[in-house]
Amino acid sequence: MKYVSSFFVLLCLTIFSPSTAHSQGPPIITDTPILLGLEGRAIMGRSMIVRSTTLYRDGERIDDPMQQEVTAAMFPIGVPYNVTRNLLVSVMVPVMSVRGKSVEGSQTSTGLGDISVTAKYLFLQHDRLQETFRIAAKTAVKFPSGDEERQPALGTGTYDVSAGTVAGWIGKRFGVYGDVLYSINGRAGGIDHGNSLQYNVAIGFRGIPDVYDRYPMSQLNMYLEFNGEYSQPHTLNGENIPDTGGNVVYITPGVQYIPGRQFLVEGFLQIPVIQSLKGTQLGTDYRIGIGIRLLLY
């Protein structure tokens, strides 16, 4: 369940921009330094499935006599707002349904997950003809609004504070984006949750049209992303807790269609390429999702 929660936190901290002013939409998972514009606001809805059935021991697959399966359906709704031209604030509210199954039976939890509030400040912008390079600082707070005592849990039960940087270069048809985010995670039930580092890289290509000669134009964007998270082990009384922490990296192909100025629809598939989990933990088989983003003025 730890990496289900981690994936949700990552999405909560991924602030989006539906704007096509730079002839390419935002990456699907990786963050973007392109903000909404003065007093711009938007709304995003997404539907995601995370499937976990494979047991790992120190990064190697092993047989699972308990035949554990975890399937999480997540429906985050996000609302970002440009406070100033360079400052964007966003709130992400999730609804989740998580089903855990083993040879001992199955349990399902449904309800509110952990809410997060994120701020992003654009501090460097360099524009040239048909291209731009930008860097933004980002900070976030996650609140323990999800019930961590339910089985399966709907939240981590901790207040987490994060800070990082987002960068992006967008040219005529290509874009390259990257972000890093370090999270100082809190305590719940006497257990100190290990801090984590999220890191993402995305390459975007506008497939249609080949020439973007007027605004707005409908467009089809394709993305290839690499999304990773390294987590330190949890600790109890200063001692590491077994079977917690590790490093996971996903390759994420995605497609995005923007029919006009204020709306886009997108889909993605995440496949793990590295699951270096400490001790014995249930890994992730895949993550799949579709979503929409609507720009409001």
> What is the per-residue pLDDT for 254?
97
Whole-angstrom Cα distance, residue 179 to residue 166?
4
Whole-angstrom Cα distance, residue 8 to residue 96?
10
> What is the per-residue pLDDT for 42?
84
> What is the per-residue pLDDT for 210?
82
> What is the per-residue pLDDT for 10?
52
> What is the per-residue pLDDT for 193?
97
Q: Give the CATH number for residue 271.
A: 2.40.128.130
Spacing of C-alpha 264 from chain mean position: 18
Q: Where are the alpha helices (DSSP H) in the chain?
A: 2-12
DSSP for 140-192 reads: EEE---S-SSSSS-SS----EEEEEEEEEEE-SSEEEEEEEEEEE--EETTEE
> What is the per-residue pLDDT for 140?
98
Please give the single-letter amino acid code of residue 272: P
> What is the per-residue pLDDT for 125?
95
Total number of domains in the chain = 1
The residue segments making up the domain with residue 13 are 2-296
> What is the per-residue pLDDT for 22?
53
- Measured between its terminal Cα atoms, the distance across the chain in Å is 38
> What is the per-residue pLDDT for 38?
56
- 48 three-state secondary structure: strand
Q: In a structure prediction context, what are the per-residue pLDDT tens digits for the chain, which is 297 residues long? A: 554 555 544 554 443 444 444 567 899 999 999 987 655 678 888 899 999 999 999 989 999 999 999 999 999 999 998 999 999 999 999 999 999 999 999 999 999 999 999 999 999 999 998 899 999 999 999 999 999 999 999 999 999 999 999 999 999 899 999 999 999 999 998 999 999 999 999 999 999 888 877 777 789 999 999 999 999 999 999 899 999 999 999 999 999 999 887 789 999 999 999 999 999 999 999 999 999 988 775
Structure tokens at 165: 């940087």
Least Cα distance to 200 among 175, 217, 177 occurs for: 177
The owner of tokens 């923007």 is 258
Cβ 116 vs Cβ 141: under 8 Å: yes
Please give the single-letter amino acid code of residue 290: I
> What is the per-residue pLDDT for 44?
87
The upper half-sphere exposure of residue 7, i.e. CA atoms within 13 Å in the direction of its Cβ, equals 27
> What is the per-residue pLDDT for 212?
75
